[in-house]
Structure 1
Amino acid sequence: MPYDRSLAIAERHEALLALIETGGRSAAALAKALGVSEATINRDVSFLRGKGHSITARRLASGWAFGVNRRANGTPYRRAKGTPCQDGGALM
C-alpha cells in the first residue's frame, strides 16, 4: 500500500537524522546501518536539507562525514527553509 511505503520512508528519515546527529558517519556507514544504498542516503539527506535541517558534510582524514550544525546549548540547529547550508549544500 502507498501509505505503508510513505510511513517506512518517514521512519527511515527519522532514523537517518538521529544517526547524523550523532556525527561522524559517512554515507556508506549510514547506508549500512539503515540497510539502503548510498544513493538513497544522498537523496534522503537532500530531502532533509530541503525540509530545513542544517546537515553538513565535512572532510575527515578517512573521507567525508555528515553532521548537524548545533546551537551553543547543543541542540540541533534547524535553518529556515530556502536558506543555504554553510557547506553550500554539497553532498560528498
Structure 2
Amino acid sequence: MDTMMQQLLSKEVLHEPMKELYEKYPNWLEVNKSSLSDEDFRRYSRQYEYIKELCGVYESTPDDFSRIVDIMQKMQTCGQPPDDLVQELGP
C-alpha cells in the first residue's frame, strides 16, 4: 500500500499538474476575489500556499514522502480546487 501511495504522490505523477496550478492560481484568485465569499477566498488562498509548498518539496527533496503526505493532507482540508481552474489543466 505504501508503495502505491508513493507512486501516486511521486514527482513524476504530481509535480507537473501542481506546478500548473501554482502558476495559474494567483491570477484566478485575483480575477475571482470579488465573486468569492471571504471564507472561500481564504480557503483557496490557503490551498494555493500548500500547492506552492508542495512544488518546493518536489523541486528540492522529492523523496521526502512523509512531508509530501503531510502537505497533501493539509490541502485536503481546503477541499477541491476550483472547477474552472482544474478544467484549464486539461485531461
State the TM-score bracket (shorter-chain normalisation). Answer: 0.3 to 0.5
Larger relative CO (CA 8 A, sep 6+): 1 or 2? 2
User: Which structure dedicates a bigger proportion of its chain to strand?
Assistant: 1
